[in-house]
């Protein structure tokens, strides 16, 4: 039986990388029926909504979405598309693998990095609760709850246990925000007690930032509140080649949306320069989520072989290939 999946191509380079992903997924042999919906800056402006009803309805039907980059219009008070999706569908776990790619040269060529970041997705300062107390004095309220903290911690520990990981590190600033981040840590400690076979430790966010760029190889699974997770997941992506190769998933109990982490890059749209690696690696996560484990592994290995050979890469990662040529290279590796 075919999997039904919502496809949001997005705008800018989104349609190019989305079509690359569709072609590559077809080459895996996994049967997929795509429910294509439009979500772009133009449509948002036309409808006046960051998240039109048909987009939500499609994901509610299929339960799974694959999403290219979507530009949120500047001005007009539009909410970020990603934030709107996460809140509407209660996609509380943002999951970002950070893994070295063979043949992609970075400052950490001598270190094989392999960590996964679990970022709480629904609250913290992203609750958007701001108030002007008096002119030029603003308060922005940080919201931390037991429910949200417990479920992101449980997601991180459950993943670590299932994937035979060894360590979970909670990132916090409880030395200053003793109540808010203190609650987050208490929840992490409570869940850690259910997984005695895993090593659990804690790091203050500023110390964690320094250690990520000095000794990143020590990290395995990281679990963080929303803001710290947003910042450190981008920082960590920079260690392995940047957002152009970074996979991402937004997971809830009922729905899952897999996306490219990078922006829509309208300056190179339509020129065949877009690198579909991020969406392809997100597709690997999607296949794993769909329990198409063998196909997920084959696709992951095919992408890695293209990078290791180095002759089918796009300009952003040191090659000269077009989007289509990179896509063909991955398909050849899958079929070979």
Which residue numbers are catalytic? Answer: 126, 173, 206, 230
Q: How far apart are CA 230 and CA 205, in angstroms?
A: 12
Q: Three-state SS across the chain?
A: CCEEEEEECCCCCHHHHHHHHHHHHHHCCCCEEEEEECCCHHHHHHHCCCCCHHHHHHHHHHCEEEECCCCCCCCCCCCCHHHHHHHHHCCCEEEEEEECCCCCCCCCCCCCCEEEEEEECCCEHHHCCEEEEECCEEEECCECCHHHHHHHHHHHHHHHHHCCCCEEEEEECCCCCCCHHHHHHHHHHHHHCCCCCCEEEEEEHHHHHHHHHHCHHHCCEEEECHHHHHHHHHHHHHHCCCHHHCEEEEECCCCEEEEECCCCCHHHCCCCCCCCHHHHHHHHHHHHHCCCHHHHHHHHHHHHHHHHHCCCCCHHHCCCCCHHHHHHHHHHHHHC
Total number of residues shown for the chain: 336
In whole angstroms, what is the distance from residue 290 CA to residue 123 CA?
27
**Residue (of 267, 205, 292) closest to 71 by Cα position:** 267
- The secondary structure of residue 124, as a DSSP letter, is B
């Amino acid at each position: 039986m075919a999997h039904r999946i919502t496809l949001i191509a997005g705008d800018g380079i989104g349609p190019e990388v989305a079509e690359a992903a569709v072609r590559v997924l077809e080459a895996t042999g996994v049967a997929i029926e795509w429910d294509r919906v439009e979500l772009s800056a133009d449509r948002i402006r036309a409808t006046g909504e960051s998240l039109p009803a048909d987009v939500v309805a499609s994901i509610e039907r299929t339960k799974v979405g694959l999403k290219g980059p979507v530009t949120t219009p500047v001005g007009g008070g539009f909410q970020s598309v990603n934030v709107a999706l996460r809140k509407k569908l209660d996609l509380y776990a943002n999951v970002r693998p950070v893994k070295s790619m063979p043949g992609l040269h970075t400052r950490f060529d001598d270190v094989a990095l392999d960590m996964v970041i679990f970022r709480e997705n629904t609250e913290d300062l992203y609750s958007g609760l701001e108030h002007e107390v008096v002119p030029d004095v603003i308060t922005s309220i940080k919201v931390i709850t037991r429910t949200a903290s417990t479920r992101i911690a449980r997601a991180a520990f459950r993943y670590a246990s299932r994937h035979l990981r060894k360590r979970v590190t909670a990132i916090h600033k409880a030395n200053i925000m003793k109540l808010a981040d203190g609650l987050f840590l208490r929840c992490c400690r409570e869940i850690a007690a259910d997984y005695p076979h895993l090593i659990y430790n804690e790091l203050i966010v500023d110390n964690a930032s320094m250690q990520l760029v000095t000794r990143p190889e020590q990290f395995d699974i990281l679990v963080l509140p929303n803001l710290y997770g947003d910042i450190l997941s981008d920082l960590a992506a920079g260690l392995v080649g940047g957002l152009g190769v970074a996979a991402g998933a937004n997971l809830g109990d009922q729905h899952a949306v897999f996306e490219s982490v990078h922006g829509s890059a309208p300056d190179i749209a339509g020129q065949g320069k877009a690198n579909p690696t991020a969406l392809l690696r997100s597709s690997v996560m999607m296949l794993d989520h769909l329990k198409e484990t063998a196909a997920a592994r084959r696709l992951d290995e095919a992408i890695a072989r293209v990078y290791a050979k180095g002759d089918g890469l796009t300009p952003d990662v040191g090659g000269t290939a077009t989007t289509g040529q990179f896509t063909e290279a991955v398909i050849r590796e899958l079929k070979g």
